Chain A
Amino acid sequence: MSLTPADISRIAKLARLELAPAEHEQMLDKINAFFSIVEQIKGVNTDGVEPMAHPVDAMQGSGPMALRLRPDLASEPNDREANQHSAPAVERGLFLVPKVIE
């Protein structure tokens, strides 16, 4: 199976990337080269195998190794100025973006 130029355009849009025509062509070639080594996984019999999303899963997820959630409480100090220090556009403590509502 090979990806088509239309697939590349569709994924680029999903990934919020804009590809110049030359870049588009290169992307198609290289992603198809990658999928040529991926095809072999389709033939593997995985009947009855549970998908493994995470190594903790393989460590018999119990006790210290169990995945967990922490209580939903604020734990970080309010440090707006430091957190916005590297933002490209900030005004009065707010992040600026192009107008989204007319």
Chain B
Amino acid sequence: MRDLHHLSVAELAALLRTKQVSAVEVATRFLARLGGNPHNAFLDINSEVTLEQARASDAKLAAGTAGPLEGVPIAHKDVFVTKDFVTTAGSKILTGYRSPFDATVVRKLREAGMVSLGKLNCDEFAMGSSNENSAFGAVSNPWETSHVPGGSSGGSAAAVAARLTPAATGTDTGGSIRQPAAFCGITGIKPTYGRASRYGMVAYASSLDQAGPMARSAEDCALLLSAMCGPDVDRDSTSMDVATDDFSRDLLRPLARAGKDGGALKIGVPRGWLSELRDDVSAQFNDQLQRGSPLVDMKIMSGVQELMRQGAELIDIDLPNTALAIPVYYIVACAEASSNLSRFDGVKFGHRAAQYGDLLDMYQKTRSEGFGDEVKRRIMTGAYVLSHGYYDAYYLQAQKIRRMIADDFQRAFAQCDVIAGPVAPTTAWKLGEKADDPVANYLADIFTLPASLAGLPCMSVPVGLGEGNMPVGMQLIGNYLDEARLLNVAHQFQMAHPECHTAQPENLP
């Protein structure tokens, strides 16, 4: 048998079900790998809690009452609240916070049998693209430890890539599952907005936040997504009242009949998403966006060509408002963040300043000490665009363009079944390289923001190595509720090119 930490979620579940290994053995093996907290990926580990869950899983396996993923380890991004582990959302203001309940996603994965290894590092309140905004230190990329893992689910991506856990949860507001998955060479999917409950997810931008799984393959993501999703209508008013799907059902369908009409899959590649649009964007933004990398483009093209080789048909589509997604997203997300983060006031939970005068002074000192720079900037930006005299020019105008972006996608999906393109214009950059330039970070989100604004399901699939031998992710975007088709396409790619998703960083312990 291969080392347990190299096995997939599907393989571990099968070994556990057939009692070739116990949940306690699996948990013990993974806990041993977490010693010294490699890559600073974890923020809380509690082996007693993990082993207790594993023992309970073994009892269920023995009694024949096991869930579909019984005994398989998972770790949760620290924005999901948990009863048994500390939850900080990467912020000093929540240092030591213990939630009285588990997030719905955490509860559902436990009900499916998964054993929790702990909590994963992330950008503070999920605000960032490099994980450098965590109050508890940056995470390093297991492929090259001088590089960022991406963000905001950087701990999740690094932990899966370094084989510290076979699976992790992530959250995606503007690309926070897809971009770190791409930078660390793993597979991640953000489902349609409303598929997974937001109950117990520390809120950043409520009309965009969505949970999803991160693992090494589409097959694993399908299993995890099936367990995570489902209606939670009493606790999340934006949870869709749609039963969860068996997202594994279409994995094996050949692309020659994976289209909506039962014919060949039609893949739309947005005109300009590969190189030419970047010239436009650079001109528009005074060359602020660093030029896309030619090797990334090449890898994405070879990914699309493989899908065509399998019978998919290539269609040129237009998403003309792509570049506007950057200002629109940052206006909408900051506006929602400024409202959501007003709950951190030093009264009901979290940090309170040691020295203060009156109530207003307590609020101000508490928040100023507790929040990091990027969080403060987003709260300030949000308060500004919502303030009297600026609301129409910024916030309302952004919401109108948000509608135009969503409409562009519907026109595209009248022509094609799935959209393919890059996740990010480049591979992972060096730690510190953009740390003092928030706008450079924002611009690098150009390809993930449009689908987030529209609320569409989208994923990242590893397609090989680009500049500096760092991983490249191909983005697949589907229409609402079409996750099974995305996973179908990703799985067919991964069956043909297993070297892409099974590649691993050198020198893993």
A interface residues with partner B (beta carbon < 8 Å) = 3, 7-8, 11-12, 14-19, 23, 26-27, 30-31, 33-34, 36-38, 40-42, 44, 46, 49-59, 63-65, 67-70, 75, 79, 82-89, 95, 97-100
- Complex interface: chain B residues within 8 A of A54 (CB): 207, 238, 455
> A70 contacts B358, CB within 8 Å?
no
- A33 interface neighbour in B394, B401, B438, Cβ under 8 Å: B438
In chain B, what residue has the closest Cβ to A98? B359
- Complex interface: chain B residues within 8 A of A55 (CB): 193-194, 207-208, 406, 454-455
> A40 contacts B284, CB within 8 Å?
yes
> A41 contacts B327, CB within 8 Å?
yes
12 A/B residue pairs, CB under 8 Å, sorted by A: A8-B380, A11-B380, A11-B384, A17-B376, A38-B331, A40-B327, A41-B324, A41-B397, A55-B193, A98-B356, A98-B359, A98-B361
- Complex interface: chain B residues within 8 A of A50 (CB): 400, 403
Complex CA gap A3/B384 in Å reads: 10
> B380 contacts A17, CB within 8 Å?
yes
Binds A, one of B93-101, B122-130, B220-228, B268-276: B93-101
- Distance to closest chain B CB from A40 (angstroms): 7
- Distance to closest chain A CB from B121 (angstroms): 20
- Distance to closest chain B CB from A65 (angstroms): 6
Complex CA gap A30/B350 in Å reads: 28
B interface residues with partner A (beta carbon < 8 Å) = 96-100, 193-194, 207-208, 233-234, 237-238, 240-242, 284-285, 288, 324, 326-328, 330-331, 338, 342, 345-352, 356-365, 367-368, 371, 373, 376-377, 379-381, 383-384, 387, 393-394, 396-404, 406-407, 410, 438-439, 442-443, 454-455, 480
User: Across chains A and B, which 3 residue pairs bring their CB atoms closest together, nearest first?
Assistant: A55-B455, A51-B399, A88-B352
Q: A15-B338, A54-B238, A85-B98 are in contact. Are A65 and B194 (CB under 8 A)?
A: yes
> A34 contacts B438, CB within 8 Å?
yes
> B363 contacts A16, CB within 8 Å?
yes
- Distance to closest chain A CB from B375 (angstroms): 10
Q: A56-B455, A58-B454 are in contact. Are A30 and B403 (CB under 8 A)?
A: no
> B362 contacts A95, CB within 8 Å?
no
Complex CA gap A41/B453 in Å reads: 15
- Complex interface: chain A residues within 8 A of B342 (CB): 16
Complex CA gap A34/B362 in Å reads: 29
Q: A41-B328, A58-B454, A64-B240 are in contact. Are A31 and B381 (CB under 8 A)?
A: yes
- A98 interface neighbour in B362, B368, B383, B454, Cβ under 8 Å: B362
- Complex interface: chain A residues within 8 A of B237 (CB): 67-70
- Complex interface: chain B residues within 8 A of A16 (CB): 342, 345, 360, 363-364, 367
In chain A, what residue has the closest Cβ to B364? A18
> A52 contacts B359, CB within 8 Å?
no
> B368 contacts A46, CB within 8 Å?
no
> A88 contacts B350, CB within 8 Å?
yes
- Distance to closest chain A CB from B265 (angstroms): 23
> B380 contacts A37, CB within 8 Å?
no
> B285 contacts A65, CB within 8 Å?
no
- B234 interface neighbour in A44, A70, A85, Cβ under 8 Å: A70
In chain B, what residue has the closest Cβ to A52? B403
- B100 interface neighbour in A34, A46, A79, A89, Cβ under 8 Å: A79
> B403 contacts A86, CB within 8 Å?
no
Complex CA gap A36/B381 in Å reads: 13
Complex CA gap A63/B454 in Å reads: 19
- Complex interface: chain A residues within 8 A of B396 (CB): 51
> A41 contacts B401, CB within 8 Å?
yes
Complex CA gap A43/B352 in Å reads: 44
> B397 contacts A46, CB within 8 Å?
yes
Q: A17-B367, A85-B100 are in contact. Are A37 and B406 (CB under 8 A)?
A: no
In chain A, what residue has the closest Cβ to B284? A40
- Complex interface: chain A residues within 8 A of B404 (CB): 44, 46, 49
- B97 interface neighbour in A7, A27, A42, A86, Cβ under 8 Å: A86
Complex CA gap A88/B278 in Å reads: 49
